[in-house]
Chains A and B, each alone.
Chain A
């Protein structure tokens, strides 16, 4: 990489900066709209900065102001409580990430290191399940959850992804295969049982991949839409993605409540942005193997 600024390099940088601008612009416009008073939307929708910036749209979608004030600020009068939905989303993705990573680490370790009859067959069947598109299992899963009476419950929402995904098992098994056996042999001679080895030797050694898979899982759960839409539509358990969809449905077709919608959207971006700021480096560097191998 030469550091001289030739016309070619200048052009290349310009193209890269344009891509970056296109990436960021919609997010900027989201925040810009979220802090614009709803009444100004028709008169003040072109400038880069709103003329009368306000936080009222956030307060009203979070349910912090009374109905009267919310309607005056552009709300449709429908009850919206994004504070609750944000908390639901955080619990939903946090719980799934932690429990799933833990269970899949145990199974990944068993598949990588323990000897038992039928191991390779079982693992093969699990990998084959990666080929089945989610919509295919979603139909019977919905029927199952419905028959169990778990529609509109938190249990029904988390059930299918709480314990495992074939991908996480696969990913962690591949990693555990690369852990040198000598490390375990030493612990075995010290008299540690399988659980002791796993918990005191393998888990601390594998902090990196475990965090990677937990992060990836939490992002997937944060983005989840279809399953929570079917099973968690009710106000109590609604997550942010479902809430945004419902919010759009409720606002009038001809005149959607864009300032409120953008305030809600900002809430769905904020945790991801924080994740990127604090763990961006790990996330970016983990991409080359989670994505492909």
Chain B
């Protein structure tokens, strides 16, 4: 709308006695040359480090490539190998288990924190504090918790033994390693997720709560009847965005790898990394990465769909 107004406006005060001068307006339409200059750095970066490698990546997945030879075409061999690769399937199962634990706990806790903040306080200091774990490198997060959960000297095991319980292996136990990593990342991302949900809650009109309170509704009832239904589009969006992130867990796994029993936390991202950079099976790693692309592609499609749905919901 604003567009058409701007285009027609200069025509009105046509100077009497002469045709309109083709001045600034002509220049406005002819952006071609200057546009490429504005785009040059970004196009260069995009072509070299996004577009080209994406095409190369697809090509790699059909080749045998060890970083030292030139990639040689092997057809669908890598994909055929994938189907029977027990470690690959195990990595998918571990990833699914990880995502379930991480996203489940994280979303639930974030929802509780966001709802409490929403009804209690607008404190910026509180919000900033909750954000701290998210701002810290994941490597640091891993180290902090490896120390907190150390089987001999860790703070948590001190607490457990003080409470009369057995001390736990956490990272070093085959059964506990993956859940431990999942919950450590829950710790790192819950505050961030809570703030996103909180921002969504702030968009809910305050008067709904006021009239509900006048009707004698309690806080829990308001949460179920007002907050949750109106937050739904944003909650769904946050959920999908966190899912996409969660599938790509790497740093914590890589750093703690030395203490974790072999293979107990080999999620798909780490499996791709090992295939590529420990065994130099670049072609095979690319094929496994293609599977991840497909999984995340589906999730992104869902995200786009939700984004469109939520936009029409709110405006």
Contact = CB atoms under 8 A, between A and B. Distances in A.
A131 B300 CA distance: 6
A287 B307 CA distance: 17
Interface of A: 1-2, 8-9, 12-13, 15-16, 19-20, 22-27, 29-30, 33, 41-42, 45-46, 103-104, 106-107, 109-110, 114-117, 119, 122, 125-126, 129-144, 146, 159-164, 166, 169, 180-182, 185, 188-189, 191, 193-195, 198, 219, 222-226, 229-230, 240-241, 244-245, 248-249, 253, 258, 261-262, 265, 268-269, 272-273, 275-276, 280-281, 283-284, 287-288, 291-293
Contacts of A164: 41-42, 45-46
B282 A143 contact: yes
A197 B43 CA distance: 21
Interface string B87-127: 00000000000000000000001001100110110001111
B234 to A, nearest CB: 7
B283 to A, nearest CB: 9
A46 B158 contact: yes
A16 B117 contact: yes
A-B interface, 6 closest residue pairs, ranked by CB to CB distance from nearest: A163-B45, A288-B199, A140-B56, A280-B128, A140-B53, A107-B42
Contacts of A288: 195-196, 199-200, 202
Interface string B33-52: 01110110111111011111
26 contacts: A26-B187, A45-B158, A114-B35, A129-B51, A133-B248, A134-B248, A135-B272, A136-B292, A140-B52, A141-B53, A143-B56, A161-B49, A188-B24, A194-B38, A223-B136, A225-B251, A226-B250, A241-B140, A268-B136, A268-B140, A269-B136, A281-B128, A287-B195, A288-B195, A288-B196, A292-B241
Nearest to B244: A133
Interface stretch (B12-20, B74-82, B146-154, B173-181): B146-154
B171 to A, nearest CB: 12
A219 to B, nearest CB: 6
Given A136-B54, A249-B258, A163 B41 contact: yes
